[in-house]
Amino acid sequence: MRAKIVAGNWKMNTVPSDGVGLVVDILEKLNPSQVGDTRVIISPPFTHLIDVIDHVWEEPHVSVAAQNCHFEDSGAFTGEISAAMIADLNIDAVIIGHSERRQYFNEDDALLAKKVDAAVRHSLLPLFCVGESLDQRKSGNHEQVVKDQLTNGLFHLSPDSFKSAIIAYEPVWAIGTGETATPEQAQEMHAAIRAHVADKYGAEIAENVSILYGGSVKPSNAREIFSQPDVDGGLVGGASLETKGFVEIVHAMA
Ligand code: PEP
């Protein structure tokens, strides 16, 4: 059975003291009977990782992810944070390939593949993001774009290493725009992604990989999107910054 996951990507939002308040509030409001076996991942900025992990380490269903990592373990890369440093904080996962990193920091598939390797080398689960732009969808090329991102950024992993990966499908046109893929559009792409994984790694691994949907998920649409057979949860941006909405989204997954 593949894991059900709801991850909150705080992006570059909250100062550390607000972030700690937010995580404490979220933990307080999550109702274990409504969370069920859903795994909750909180992804704050680097400056709050230590404080946030201190609050969640005893929570069986909650873990913490970094939002990015460098591909080298150490060295003269001023301002960068390595996967080795993140792993040493007992953090479980790292987001790699978010469209904002691809778009604003020119991260291409070759670079992302090296970041994936760094994550795996340090036993961090790579939460690998893929997604097409509006133009690519309009041209009917969206499935091929997403397949290429997977092939070039993630599919160099051995089957054993790939088993630790989580995939997030995030259509760029739906991120932070208020525009959401319809449940049918999400299901269609998630099924195509799973089929692509099956072609590369076989049916059993494909059946077990969690594929999350991201792009303006909110309490009002979460349940319908999450009810699609190949949608195993969500990567939530804006709505993860507000306790009530995020908790409702987590509860919608159960
Ligand atoms: C994201 O940043 O991963 C995201 C999906 O953002 P939003 O939910 O705000 O669209």
The alpha carbon dihedral of 131, 135, 138, 141 has a sign of negative
Residue 44: predicted pLDDT:
98
pLDDT digits (tens, 9 = 90+) for 232-250: 999 999 999 999 999 999 9
Residue 57: predicted pLDDT:
87
Q: What is the mean pLDDT of residues 76-97?
A: 97
Q: Which of 70, 170, 190, 196 is catalytic?
A: 170
Q: Which atom of ligand 1 is nearest to the CA of 98?
A: 3
Strand partners, 5: 39, 233
Task: Compute the distance between CA of residue 15 and CA of residue 181 in angstroms, rounded to an integer.
Answer: 31
pLDDT digits (tens, 9 = 90+) for 160-192: 999 999 999 999 999 988 888 999 999 999 999
Task: Compute the distance between CA of residue 233 and CA of residue 186 in angstroms, rounded to an integer.
Answer: 11
Binding site membership of 97 for ligand 1 (Cβ less than 6 Å)? no
CATH class as words, domain 5-253: alpha beta
pLDDT digits (tens, 9 = 90+) for 44-61: 999 999 999 999 988 989
Domain boundaries in the chain?
Answer: 5-253
Task: Compute the distance between CA of residue 210 and CA of residue 2 in angstroms, rounded to an integer.
Answer: 6
Q: Cβ–Cβ contacts within 10 Å for residue 232, how many?
A: 23
- Asked whether residue 91 carries a pLDDT value surpassing 90, the answer given is yes
Ligand 1: centre distance to CA 76 (Å): 32
Ligand 1, atom 8: closest residue by C-alpha:
237
Binding site membership of 7 for ligand 1 (Cβ less than 6 Å)? no
Strand partners, 130: 169
HEC-encoded secondary structure of 140-175: CCHHHHHHHHHHHHCCCCCHHHHCCCEEEECCHHHC
- DSSP characters over 164-207: T-EEEE--GGGTTSS----HHHHHHHHHHHHHHHHHHH-HHHHH
For residue 123 the two structure tokens come to 């036993």
Where helices occur in 5-127 by DSSP H, the ranges are 16-29, 32-35, 49-56, 83-87, 99-104, 109-121
- Asked whether residue 219 carries a pLDDT value surpassing 90, the answer given is yes
Ligand 1: centre distance to CA 228 (Å): 19
Task: Compute the distance between CA of residue 121 and CA of residue 127 in angstroms, rounded to an integer.
Answer: 14
- Asked whether residue 93 carries a pLDDT value surpassing 90, the answer given is yes
Radius of gyration of the chain (CA): 17
For residue 53 the two structure tokens come to 């992990």
Q: Is 248 a catalytic residue?
A: no
**Torsion from C-alpha of 50, 56, 60, 66, nearest 10 degrees:** -50
Q: Is 156 a catalytic residue?
A: no
Q: Around 91, how many Cα atoms within 13 Å sit in the side-chain half-sphere? A: 33
User: Chain-wide mean pLDDT for the chain?
Assistant: 97
Residue 128: predicted pLDDT:
98
- Out of 172, 217, 246, mutate this one to test ligand 1's pocket (max ligand atoms within 8 Å of CB): namely 217
Binding site membership of 214 for ligand 1 (Cβ less than 6 Å)? yes
Residue 178: predicted pLDDT:
84
